[in-house]
């Protein structure tokens, strides 16, 4: 008799339609299936399989993922697993395991496949106190550790969803943030940029209006917003120390949690944490927690193939810490963003931010490329930095106003002294127009792979100034023996008190 499928809840805001742990004869023997541990897809050299209508999983990888230690004695093919007060012994080929001195009969024997020991999925759940389930539609095994489940349940209410309002309507792309005081939400500037209003929604579905933005850092991509009225959710602790590479962490949004590993740091416009766990956040600004319950980062972007996710380090907001203990009435805001200005914003060239696409095309230099699917122009043979460069211009779709300019130039014949001389000349010209830079790096710092090193300089407007973000850089590619220059202008929108 075929059993009906049923819905099993993980207790972490995630429900799946799952089949019982016996499977129909329609499933091919030894077929490979995917495995998710604490919400994150795992990549093992031996993936789980279905054999004899049972899901078999690699015991070492799964046990270690749940915090247990595993040893293998090849002489008698014995596997020993230890976690807290749990001691498990089993042998390859045997259906009998020993758990703290008590015998346990497995559904099918432990099996060696590709030099890896596989055991029934049910055995993992019953012995290591994990929730286990099989999703027949996606052919995937889901294992959730008890510690992970408790952590998600204890911290998920501190995460909120942020909805921007533009032109009086909710913005289609939502953001996320985390409660740092009864009146304040910490998020990324990407999550609230260009908002003309906003509201938050808690995991319980309660909605609270946002009064305005308290602080915003364009370079660090972080923002602090004030609620119209305080809420009773317990605030998080923000981690102001360095984060160790290889540390386990948990990404939490309003619907689910996912365990990741902090693989390292990325030196871009600013230092970012990143993970290599194949996982896509629902919202920009989703917080990253350590297992002590502290927020260590907020999601800011994915790379092109969604295999690496970047997080702005929460330690960068230590300068805002005094706000966290202030009373609601003492926290001041500057309101919200307004529509983009129609006035042109001066740049170093005759092309200015705020121009429309027809005006930019009228100043055409060299060959022009137009992307019909997006308001975008590109010229080659531009001489803004040096003869034979490129210039790219990006427009806001609705306003048809230029908001981003990028000038590029590459040379395979320059010496380092010549590259530095051209960089300093451009820097001096920009200083005449934009004043003292926000950040200057003139040390030819190398990246982690020792292939690239660069010089760069930044100009950043204050939060309520109508000025562009400007970045000039030159990168030396030591492998290809080339120098690449970029002059970048960006205007994110008006912010007025």
**Tens digits of residue pLDDT in 97-130:** 899 989 988 888 888 888 888 888 888 888 888 8
**Tens digits of residue pLDDT in 207-248:** 999 999 999 887 788 999 999 999 999 999 999 887 888 888
159, two tokens:
């995460």
pLDDT of residue 120: 85
pLDDT of residue 337: 67
Q: Tokens 């530095």 correspond to what residue?
A: 420
User: pTM (2 decimals)?
Assistant: 0.70
Angle at 248 between CA 244 and CA 252, to 5 degrees: 120
pLDDT of residue 148: 92
Distances (CA, A) of 2 to 25, 141, 317: 10, 20, 56
Measured from the Cβ of residue 426, the count of other Cβ atoms closer than 10 Å reads: 21
Dihedral angle computed from the Cα positions of residues 440, 470, 194 and 359, in that order, rounded to the nearest 10 degrees? 180
Closest CA to 170 of 148, 150, 193, 198: 198
113 φψ region: left (φ > 0), alpha (ψ -120 to 50), beta (else): beta
Angle at 176 between CA 173 and CA 177, to 5 degrees: 150
Render each residue's pLDDT in the chain as its tens digit; 497 residues: 333 333 322 233 332 333 333 333 333 334 568 888 898 888 887 888 888 788 888 888 888 888 889 898 888 888 999 988 899 998 988 888 899 989 988 888 888 888 888 888 888 888 888 888 888 888 888 889 888 999 999 999 999 999 998 777 898 888 999 999 999 999 998 888 778 899 999 999 999 999 999 998 877 889 999 999 999 999 999 998 878 888 889 999 888 889 888 887 765 545 678 887 765 666 889 999 999 999 999 998 776 666 778 899 999 999 999 999 999 999 998 877 655 455 788 899 999 998 888 888 888 888 888 776 677 889 999 999 999 999 999 887 777 888 899 999 999 999 999 999 999 999 999 999 999 998 888 888 665 556 678 899 999 877 667 788 899 999 988 777 889 999 999 876 544 33
37 φψ region: left (φ > 0), alpha (ψ -120 to 50), beta (else): beta
Measured from the Cβ of residue 156, the count of other Cβ atoms closer than 10 Å reads: 20
Could you give phi then psi for residue 288, rounded to 5 degrees? Answer: -115, 120
447, two tokens:
């990246």
Hey, CA dihedral for 67, 136, 114, 105, is it positive or negative? positive
The CA R_g of the chain, rounded to the nearest whole Å, is: 27
Pairing of strands 257-267, 271-275: antiparallel
Closest CA to 206 of 239, 231, 170: 231
pLDDT of residue 14: 30
Closest CA to 334 of 423, 170, 206, 462: 462
pLDDT of residue 256: 86
Could you give phi then psi for residue 442, rounded to 5 degrees? Answer: -120, 30
> Rounded to whole angstroms, how far apart are CA atoms 360 and 346?
14
Hey, CA dihedral for 421, 427, 432, 433, is it positive or negative? positive
pLDDT of residue 8: 29
CA 136 to chain CA mean position, Å: 29
456, two tokens:
């760069």
Give one DSSP letter per residue of 111-150, joined into a string: EEETTEEEEEHHHHHHHHT-EEEEETTTTEEEEE-HHHHH
**Is residue 236 within 8 Å of 295, Cβ to Cβ?**
yes
């Amino acid at each position: 008799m075929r059993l009906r499928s049923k819905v099993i809840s993980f207790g972490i805001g995630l429900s799946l339609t799952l089949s019982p742990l016996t499977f129909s004869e329609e499933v091919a023997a030894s077929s490979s299936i995917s495995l998710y541990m604490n919400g994150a897809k795992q990549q093992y050299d031996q993936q789980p399989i279905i054999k004899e209508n049972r899901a078999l999983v690699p015991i070492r990888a799964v046990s270690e993922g749940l915090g247990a230690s595993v040893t293998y004695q090849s002489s008698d093919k014995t596997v020993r697993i230890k976690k807290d007060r749990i001691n498990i012994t089993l042998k390859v080929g045997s259906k009998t395991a020993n758990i703290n001195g008590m015998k346990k009969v497995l559904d099918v024997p432990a099996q060696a496949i590709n030099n890896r020991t596989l055991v029934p999925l049910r055995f993992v759940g019953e012995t290591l106190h994990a929730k286990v389930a099989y999703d027949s539609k996606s052919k995937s095994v889901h294992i959730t550790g008890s510690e992970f489940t408790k952590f998600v349940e204890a911290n998920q209410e501190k995460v909120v969803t942020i909805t921007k309002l533009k032109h009086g309507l909710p913005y289609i792309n939502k953001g996320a943030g985390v409660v740092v005081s009864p009146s304040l939400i910490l998020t990324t500037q990407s999550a609230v940029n260009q908002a003309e209003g906003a509201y938050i929604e808690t995991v319980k579905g309660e909605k609270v209006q946002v009064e305005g933005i308290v602080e915003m850092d364009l370079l660090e991509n972080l923002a602090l917003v004030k609620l119209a009225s305080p809420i009773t959710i317990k605030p998080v602790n923000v981690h102001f120390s360095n984060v160790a590479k290889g540390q386990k962490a948990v990404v939490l949004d309003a619907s689910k949690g996912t365990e990741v590993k902090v693989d390292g740091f990325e030196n871009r416009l600013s230092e970012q944490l990143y993970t290599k766990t194949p996982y896509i956040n629902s919202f920009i600004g989703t917080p990253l927690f350590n297992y002590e319950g502290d927020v260590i980062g907020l999601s800011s972007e994915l790379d092109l193939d969604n295999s690496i996710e970047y997080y702005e380090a929460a330690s960068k907001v230590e300068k805002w810490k005094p706000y966290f203990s202030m009373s609601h009435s003492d926290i001041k805001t500057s309101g919200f963003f307004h529509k983009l200005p129609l006035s042109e914003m001066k740049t170093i060239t005759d092309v200015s931010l705020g121009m429309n696409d027809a005006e930019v095309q009228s100043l055409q230099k060299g060959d022009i490329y137009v992307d019909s699917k997006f308001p975008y122009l590109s010229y080659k043979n531009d001489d803004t930095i040096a003869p034979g460069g490129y210039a790219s211009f990006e427009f806001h779709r609705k306003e048809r106003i230029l908001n981003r300019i990028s000038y590029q130039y590459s040379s395979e014949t320059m010496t380092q002294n010549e590259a530095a001389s051209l960089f300093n000349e451009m820097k001096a010209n920009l200083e005449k127009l934009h004043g003292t830079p926000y950040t200057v790096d003139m040390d030819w710092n190398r990246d982690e792979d020792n292939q690239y090193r660069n010089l760069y300089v930044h100009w950043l407007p204050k939060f309520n100034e109508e000025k562009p973000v400007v970045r000039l850089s030159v990168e030396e590619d030591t492998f290809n023996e080339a120098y690449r220059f970029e002059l970048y202008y960006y205007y994110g929108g008006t912010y007025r008190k």
